[in-house]
Copies of this chain bind each other. A is one copy, B any other.
Amino acid sequence: MLSERLTAYAALTNEKLDELLGACGADDAAPLLGRSMAYSVFSGGKRLRPALCMAACDFAGGRAEDALLPACALELIHTYSLIHDDLPAMDDDDYRRGRPSSHVAFGEANAILAGDGLQALAFAVLSDCPARDAAGYIARGAFEMVMGQSLDCSAAPGEVPLETLQRYKTGALFRAAAASGAACANAPKSLVDSLVRFADAYGMLFQITDDILDCEGEAAALGKSVGKDAKAGKGTFATVYGVQRAGAFAKEYAGKAREALRDAGGGDASFFTELVGYTLERRS
C-alpha cells in the first residue's frame, strides 16, 4: 500500500520532471547542460521529497497533482545539492546512486553548472505555481540547507550538535516539502505547522536510519559508497552515538512524527504513518 502510493507519486514526479527538463530550452541551446542535468535528475532517486509534498497536499484536502510543481522543484533542488556535495572540494565522492558522480561523468565545471542550472530551473518552475507561498517555503528551505552544508564543512567536530546540523542539512527540504504541499491545498497555518513538525521529525528519522545504513548496509543495495562517513571522520548519528543508540533515537523521532500527525487531525494519515514504519525498518 505504501509502496503503491510512493510509486504513484514518483511516477507523477518523473513524468513532470521529464516534461520540465525537455521544455527548459537546454537541450537545444546548451545540450551538455541539458544532458548533465538530466543525468543526475534521472538516476533513480526515491522522490521522497516530492512524495512528502504531494502527500501533504493530499492530507490537507487538495489533490496530489496540485502540488506537482513544488514537488518537482524540490527534487531539482535536492539533485543540485547532491551534485555539489559530491564535488572534489566538498565530499569528493565519485559514486552516487550506483553511477559515477556528475563531476566524474562531465567534469567539475559542468557539474557546478548543472547544479546551478537545476536550482535556477526549480525557481522558474515554481514561478508557475498558483500557490504563492510555495516558492517562499522552498527558497527558505534551500537556503537553510546551504547553511547546514556550510556548518558541516566549516565547524570543528562536535562544535555544532549533530541534530542542529541535520535539521538544516536534511530537515530543511523535508519541512519545505510539507509546507509547500500544504500551501497548494490552501491549508490553514495551524495545519501547515503540524505537517512541518511531522516533516521535521520524519527528516531526522530518515537521516538517522541513513547514517545507520551507511555503517551497516551493503553497497549494492544502497548504490553508493558505504562506510564513507566513518572513513571521512564525519560525525553521523551512527558514528557518534553508535548504531544501537542511533536506533533508539530513530524510534524517538518516529514517535514525534506520529505525535505531530495526531495534532494535524482530520486527513487520512495512513501514507505518513506507513512511511514512518517503513523508514524505521528500511534496509536500503
Which residues of A pack against B, CB within 8 Å? 24-26, 29-30, 32-33, 80-81, 84, 87, 89-90, 107-110, 112-113, 115-117, 119-121, 123-124, 126-128, 132-133, 135-136, 139-140, 142-151, 153-154, 168
Contacts and interface: CB of A to CB of B under 8 A. Distances in A.
A20 B112 CA distance: 26
Contact of A139 (B30, B115, B127): B127
Contacts of A84: 112-113, 116
Contacts of A136: 124, 127-128
A121 to B, nearest CB: 5
- Mostly helix, strand, loop or mixed at chain A's interface? helix
A24 B154 contact: no
Contacts of A150: 26, 30, 32-33, 110, 113, 117
Contacts of A89: 107-109, 112
B32 A113 contact: no
A123 B110 contact: no
Find the residue from A30, A89, A119, A128 having the highest chain B CB count within 10 A. Answer: A30
A81 B146 CA distance: 16
Nearest to A134: B127
A189 to B, nearest CB: 16
Contacts of A116: 80-81, 84, 115-116, 119, 146, 149
